[in-house]
Amino acid sequence: MMFKPLSDFTLFADRRDRLLSVLDDVYGFEGPALFLTLADFEGLRTSFRQDSTFYYFTGITEPAAIGCFYLQGHSTLYIPKFWEQRAMWVTSTIGMSSDPGHYGFNEIRALGNAEKSYCFKPLLLEAQYYSFIADITSFIKAGGRIFACVPTHGFGALLFERLATWISGFSNALVDVSRDVARLRREKDAYELQLIHAAAQITALAHEQVAGFIKPGVFEYQVRGLVDYVFASTAAAVPAFPSIVASGYNATILHYTDCSQQLQSGDLVVIDCGAEYGNYAADVSRTYPANGSFTPRQRSLYEIVLEVQEYIASIARPGMFLCNKEYPDISLHHQALACFKQYDLDRYFCHGLGHFLGLDVHDVGDVQEPLSPGDVFTLEPGVYLPHESCGIRIEDDYVMADDGAVCLSDALVKKPDDIEALMTRSL
C-alpha cells in the first residue's frame, strides 16, 4: 500500500488550466498575466514537506522552486542551481538538464546564481533569485499582472516582502487569488478522494491496533507511539499532525500535546489522529474507556455525542454550511448546538463542528460558504466537562455527494458496544 507518485503530470497541468480559466473569467485582465506559486523551503533538521498549493498545481516535491504559468500559455519552472555534490545528501529528481515537458512545463530555468553548498536552508538572498528577478522585472515593465496566493506568515511571507523590494512595481502588479485557489482545492477529484480514503483506512487501522493496547497503567506517550508506528509500518505514512492522546482531565484540553500521563481506571481516552498518505490527510477521533468499559454516565454522554454526529451527517446536503451564524437553520454547526442544547450540553461543546480536509488537515476553504459536491470535511462533535475530568469526541471524514454526505472513515466502529468489543480483540 506504499504510495507511488504519479509518473504522468497531466493531472496537475489540467488543474492549472482550470485555474487560469477561472482567473481569466474573474479578473478579465487583457494584458500579459501569470500565476506564480512558490515551493516551500527545506531545513537541516526537519523533514521536507512541499507547500500544498505548489504541489496541487505541479506535483513537484523539490524545495525552493517557483512555478510561473502565463495566461497566454507558456510556463516556466525556476529551480535553484544547487551544488552538484548536494546529491550526496538528498535525493533530487529535477535538475537543469531535466526534460521540462515531462513535468508539464515549457522550460526549466535557474532561479539565480549557483549555490556553493548543499544549502539546507531558506533561500532569501537577492543573488539567489537573480534570473527570476530579471525575468519578472521585464514582465512587469511590459504591463504584466501577477496572480498568486500571497503568504501571510513564515518564510514565504518574508520572501514576498523581499521580492517587493528587489523588483520595481512588484506589489502594484500583485493580485492575491487565495480565495479563488481555495475554491478549486476544495472540490476534490477522484484521485484525491482515493488518497484521502486510503489515509482514512490507515488511520482506522491505527485506531483498531491501539484500542487493544489501552489499559490502566499505560502512558499516553506509549499509545501515541503505537499510533505513529502503525502509520509508518502499514504504508510508510506519516502523521498528518501530531497525534493527540489525552486521558482523564487531559481529554478536556482540545489540543493536548504533553502525552505524559499514565492511564487510570475510569478514565476516558480521546485519540485524535490522522495519517498522511500521498500528501493527503485523514483526521479521525475516537474515545475509549481506559479499563475497557464505559461507566453509565460515560456511556450516556458518549451516546449523545454519537447521536449528534449521526444526525448531522444524515441531514448534510449541498448548499448547507459547515458554520454560518447568518443561516443557523442550514448551518451544521448550529444544528449540532441545538441538538446538544436539548440535553443542556451546548455549553460543553466548545469548538467548531468540522473543517475542510485535503492536502492540509485543516484545508483551505471558508466554512461560511455553502458546501458543494466534492468537498471533503470532518464532523467532530464533542463534549468537555472539566469538573468531571471527562472529554468525549467522535470525528469522521466525509465527502459531499450530490445527495448528501458519504463517510470515508466508516471502516472504524464507533458505537459504544462496538468500541468495548474492539478493545478486547485488538492487538
Q: How far is Cα 111 from Cα 258, in angstroms, rounded to an integer?
A: 42
Q: pLDDT of 49-102, one tens digit each?
A: 999 999 999 999 999 999 999 998 899 999 998 777 677 777 777 888 899 999
Task: Give burial (CB, 10 Å; 0-12/13-18/19+) of 201.
Answer: buried
Choosing from 169, 185, 201, the residue where a domain stops is 185
CATH number of the domain where residue 96 is located: 3.40.350.10
| Closest alpha carbon to 107 in 55, 69, 59, 149 | 69
Q: pLDDT of 359-409, one tens digit each?
A: 999 999 999 999 999 999 999 999 999 999 999 999 999 999 999 999 999
pLDDT in the model for residue 426: 55
- pLDDT band for 1, please (50, 70, 90 cuts): low
pLDDT in the model for residue 28: 82
Choosing from 135, 160, 185, the residue where a domain stops is 185
Choosing from 124, 154, 185, the residue where a domain stops is 185
pLDDT in the model for residue 94: 87
pLDDT in the model for residue 114: 78
For CA atoms 412, 418, 420, 425, give the dihedral sign. Answer: negative
Largest pairwise CA distance in the chain? 73
Q: How far is Cα 72 from Cα 32, in angstroms, rounded to an integer?
A: 7
Q: In what order do the strands lie in the sheet with 244-247?
A: 244-247, 268-273, 284-289
pLDDT of 179 over the 70 cut: yes
Q: pLDDT of 342-365, one tens digit each?
A: 999 999 999 999 999 999 999 999
pLDDT of 45 over the 80 cut: no
* 168 touches 137 (CB < 8 A): yes
* 177 touches 23 (CB < 8 A): yes
3-class secondary structure, 202: helix
Does 205 reside within a domain?
yes
Q: Which domain covers residue 38, as residue numbers?
A: 10-185
pLDDT in the model for residue 122: 82
Task: Scan for cell 468537498, then name that residue.
Answer: 375
pLDDT in the model for residue 117: 67
pLDDT in the model for residue 2: 73
E strands present in 21-178 = 33-38, 66-70, 75-79, 107-110, 145-148, 174-176
Question: What pTM was estimated for this model as a whole?
Answer: 0.95
Average pLDDT score over residue span 327-332: 98
Q: pLDDT of 242-257, one tens digit each?
A: 999 999 999 999 999 9
Question: From the CB of residue 265, how many other CB atoms can be counted at a distance below 10 Å?
Answer: 12
* 395 touches 357 (CB < 8 A): no
Does 3 reside within a domain?
no
- pLDDT band for 30, please (50, 70, 90 cuts): confident
Tell me the pLDDT of the chain averaged across its residues: 94
The residue type found at 278 is G
Tell me: do 298 and 366 sit in the same domain.
Answer: yes
Pull the grid cell for residue 338: 441545538
- pLDDT band for 136, please (50, 70, 90 cuts): very high
pLDDT in the model for residue 291: 97
Helices (H) and strands (E) in the chain, counts: 11, 17
Q: Rg of the chain's alpha carbons, rounded to an integer?
A: 24
Average pLDDT score over residue span 172-183: 97
Tell me: do 192 and 180 sit in the same domain.
Answer: no
Query: 5-19, 131-145, 178-192 — which is least confidently predicted?
Result: 5-19
Q: pLDDT of 195-221, one tens digit each?
A: 999 999 999 999 999 999 999 999 999
Q: Which residues of 299-321 are buried (b: 16+ CB within 10 A; e: fewer)?
A: bebbebbbebbbebbeebbbebb
Tell me: do 43 and 154 sit in the same domain.
Answer: yes
pLDDT in the model for residue 137: 98
pLDDT in the model for residue 427: 53
Length of the chain: 427
Average pLDDT score over residue span 272-297: 98
Does 175 reside within a domain?
yes
pLDDT in the model for residue 118: 64
Does 130 reside within a domain?
yes
* 178 touches 151 (CB < 8 A): no
Tell me: do 399 and 252 sit in the same domain.
Answer: yes
| Closest alpha carbon to 205 in 412, 418, 362 | 412
Tell me: do 66 and 145 sit in the same domain.
Answer: yes
Contacts of 69 (CB under 8 A, 6+ apart): 16, 19, 20, 34, 35, 36, 37, 57, 75
Count of domains forming the chain: 2
pLDDT in the model for residue 66: 97
